[in-house]
């Protein structure tokens, strides 16, 4: 009996020791973060949570000073392999967490239990190995915000936003990646990611998972670079189980070609640049709406005769520059033009696959503006911005907005640099809408205030980043 008891106790404690989590001793760890928060009031509205003055469908294009609260936390684990006593490969594992509200609430006053409360996302979880064993080869796999430069003043990642989950390799200045973009609301009836599948005689929505192949190459030129980009996108066929042609969709495709030129400019202070890009997408790769440039968010209505997007296309042009003119003044400007059409022949609206919604099948976005930074002294800067934006959906008239923002800003790190953070801002914005925009409530602000030609916003904001 005692022997059996000893054996049991020995086995019990042995299993307990083996089950213990390892003690963490890794010191190769880093953390970064981006965040913005504050309070604001939409003058002329009774709404509790003020909304953007920008036009519908354009996101932050037209100015981002009224953006809602947002937080990102990114963590990195780093490996330090050595061969012959020398570092040979740079290896990192990165995870990024995002937190935001969906209805404009103050982020500190809601939780995940609140109606329309905090949304939590994990946009990044990937591993990357650079210059493997001292070579020119690099590789990554996982989910990541896979994108290049943005136009910061309008929060617009233009040209090459391929964020998603996938894998990529790089050799010198050439990259090849495959991205899967299956994060789609399966209750939606919007094309082209869905098809009707007949199960037990009942039409139900099926999901077609898209994959994107991306080839990018950079050519180094004097004081800058030229980036060439090509994409191939494919949706597999969606065939109804009962063989019904009415509910069967052929495989669909899309292509993208683009070129971007970035050049450093010589000014009295360093950091000035100019960047211009042109991009054309066809078929299901005609995306770029709502302030985003992602080509895989297909725009417009389908062709219900062919159940494909072969006639769809989109053209996008961007220009942005930063001029650090002196120790007193910097100027950051942009211009954007996007023209898109869906697969339907309609110039205005056309139905989705199920006939439940009418979608605009043509649209144009035009916007340009500039933010100036006047350095009163090292720690007190006056930000001022003027934006112009136009939006045309279908055969409607252009909606137009002109906005001016004045934002006295405290910069406690005391550096005269447009990228220096954190910022503590007092923000006042005033916008003017043309009569079409006012009559049709073509702005989140107008949806709160009702028909009017003028909109105003006042708030106190902070913004920071540390990477």
Closest-CA residue to 250 (of 308, 203, 193, 309):
308
Q: Is 405 exposed, middle or buried (0-12, 13-18, 19+ CB in 10 A)?
A: buried
pLDDT at position 95: 97
Q: Is 318 exposed, middle or buried (0-12, 13-18, 19+ CB in 10 A)?
A: buried
> If pLDDT is split at 50, 70 and 90, which confidence band does 197 have?
very low
pLDDT at position 4: 62
Higher pLDDT, 363 or 102: 363
CA 80, CA 90: separation in Å to the nearest integer?
Answer: 7
pLDDT at position 223: 94
Share of the chain above pLDDT 90, in %: 68
CA 55, CA 75: separation in Å to the nearest integer?
Answer: 35
Is 321 in contact with 273 (CB distance < 8 Å)? yes
Taking only the tens place, the pLDDT of each residue in 332-367 is: 999 999 999 999 999 999 988 777 789 999 999 999
Q: Is the pLDDT of residue 238 over 80?
A: no
> If pLDDT is split at 50, 70 and 90, which confidence band does 200 have?
very low
Alpha-carbon Rg for the chain, nearest whole angstrom, is 26
How many CB atoms lie under 10 A from the CB of residue 22? 5
Taking only the tens place, the pLDDT of each residue in 150-189 is: 999 999 999 999 999 999 999 999 999 999 986 444 455 5
Mean pLDDT rounded to a whole number for the chain = 88
pLDDT at position 306: 84
pLDDT at position 49: 78
Closest-CA residue to 211 (of 168, 242, 269):
168
Q: Name 144's Cβ contacts closer than 8 Å, sequence gap at least 6.
A: 94, 123, 124, 125, 126, 163, 165
CA 74, CA 95: separation in Å to the nearest integer?
Answer: 6
Range of weakest confidence among 240-244, 269-273, 410-414: 240-244
Taking only the tens place, the pLDDT of each residue in 13-61 is: 555 555 556 777 778 899 999 999 999 999 988 776 788 999 999 999 9
Q: Is the pLDDT of residue 1 over 60?
A: no
pLDDT at position 11: 57
């Amino acid at each position: 009996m005692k022997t059996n008891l000893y054996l049991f106790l020995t086995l019990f404690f042995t299993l307990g020791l083996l089950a213990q989590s390892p003690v963490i001793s890794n010191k190769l760890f880093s953390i970064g973060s981006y965040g913005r928060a504050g309070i604001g009031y939409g003058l002329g509205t009774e709404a509790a949570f003020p909304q953007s003055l920008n036009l519908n469908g354009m996101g932050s294009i037209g100015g981002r000073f009224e953006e809602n609260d947002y937080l990102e936390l990114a963590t990195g684990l780093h490996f330090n392999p050595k061969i012959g006593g020398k570092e040979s490969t740079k290896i990192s594992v990165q995870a990024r967490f995002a937190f935001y509200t969906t209805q404009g609430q103050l982020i500190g006053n809601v939780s995940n239990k609140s109606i329309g409360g905090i949304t939590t996302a994990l946009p990044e979880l990937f591993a990357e190995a650079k210059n493997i064993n001292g070579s020119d080869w690099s590789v990554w796999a996982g989910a990541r915000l896979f994108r290049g430069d943005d136009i910061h003043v309008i929060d617009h990642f233009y040209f090459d936003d391929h964020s998603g989950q996938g894998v990529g390799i790089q050799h010198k200045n050439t990259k090849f990646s495959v991205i899967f973009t299956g994060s789609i609301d399966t209750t939606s009836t919007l094309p082209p990611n869905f098809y009707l599948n007949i199960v037990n005689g009942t039409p139900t929505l099926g999901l077609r998972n898209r994959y994107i192949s991306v080839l990018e190459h950079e050519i180094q030129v004097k004081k800058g670079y030229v980036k060439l980009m090509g994409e191939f996108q494919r949706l597999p066929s969606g065939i109804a189980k009962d063989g019904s042609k009415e509910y069967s969709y052929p495989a669909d495709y899309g292509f993208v070609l683009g070129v971007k030129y970035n050049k450093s400019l010589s000014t009295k202070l360093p950091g000035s640049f100019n960047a211009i890009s042109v991009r054309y997408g066809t078929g299901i790769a005609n995306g770029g709406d709502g302030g985003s440039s992602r080509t895989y968010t297909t725009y417009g209505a389908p062709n219900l005769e062919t159940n494909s997007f072969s006639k769809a296309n989109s053209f996008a042009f961007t220009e942005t520059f930063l001029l650090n003119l002196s120790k007193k003044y910097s100027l950051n400007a942009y211009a954007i033009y996007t023209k898109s059409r869906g697969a339907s022949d309609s110039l205005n609206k056309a139905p989705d696959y199920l006939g439940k919604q009418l979608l605009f099948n043509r649209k144009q976005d035009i916007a340009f503006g500039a933010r100036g930074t006047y350095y009163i002294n090292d720690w007190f800067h006056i930000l001022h911005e003027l934006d112009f934006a136009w939006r045309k959906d279908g055969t409607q008239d252009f909606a137009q907005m002109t906005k001016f923002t004045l934002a006295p800003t405290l910069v406690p790190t005391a550096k005269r640099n447009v990228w220096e953070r954190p910022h503590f801002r007092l923000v006042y914005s005033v916008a003017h809408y043309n009569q079409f925009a006012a009559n049709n409530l073509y702005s989140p602000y107008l949806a709160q205030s009702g028909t009017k030609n003028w909109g105003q916003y006042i708030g106190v904001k902070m913004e920071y980043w540390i990477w």
